[in-house]
Amino acid sequence: DLYFHCLIEEHLFIPEVMDLEERLKKDSEIREIEIEDYEEKQEKLNKAALLSEREKGVVACIAQGMSNKEIAEQLCLSVNTVTTHRQNISMKLGIHSAASITIFAIVNKIVEIPGKS
């Protein structure tokens, strides 16, 4: 009986347990990736939430390639106010280039890429 018990254990139980452990390990790794992706998306959403509606308007104008003067005219602001908004946006987001602000605006759906729906 002990011999058959060992055979059953060796050929049935041990391979099944090893397979189960491998699947659990893979599931755990997938969950970690999903959690990291979720946390990254939440961080981006939280950064977008830091911006006021006026700052989002300035971001949209920057993404459209407007100069400070053009933004000021578009939003009925002074150039100094636009400059201050740009500084505040850079501080809040940790982004300092117009190209990075443009990417941020697209990713956070502040602006849309023409021709994309």
pLDDT digit string (tens) for 88-107? 999 998 888 999 999 989 88
Q: Are 100 and 59 in contact (CB under 8 A)?
A: no
What's this model's pTM, rounded to 2 decimal places?
Answer: 0.61
Q: Which of 104, 83, 85, 82 is nearest to 95 (CA)?
A: 104
Give the distance from CA 108 to its chain's centroid: 8
pLDDT at position 89 is 95
Q: Of 37-41, 58-62, 76-80, which gets the smallest average pLDDT?
A: 37-41
pLDDT at position 51 is 92
Q: How confident is the model at residue 20 (pLDDT cuts 50, 70, 90)?
A: confident
- For residues 36 and 100, which has the higher predicted lDDT (pLDDT)? 100
Q: In which residue are the tokens 């100094």 written?
A: 80
Q: Is the pLDDT of residue 43 over 80?
A: no
For residue 111, the number of C-alpha atoms closer than 13 Å in the C-beta half-sphere is 19
Token digits for 87? 């500084």
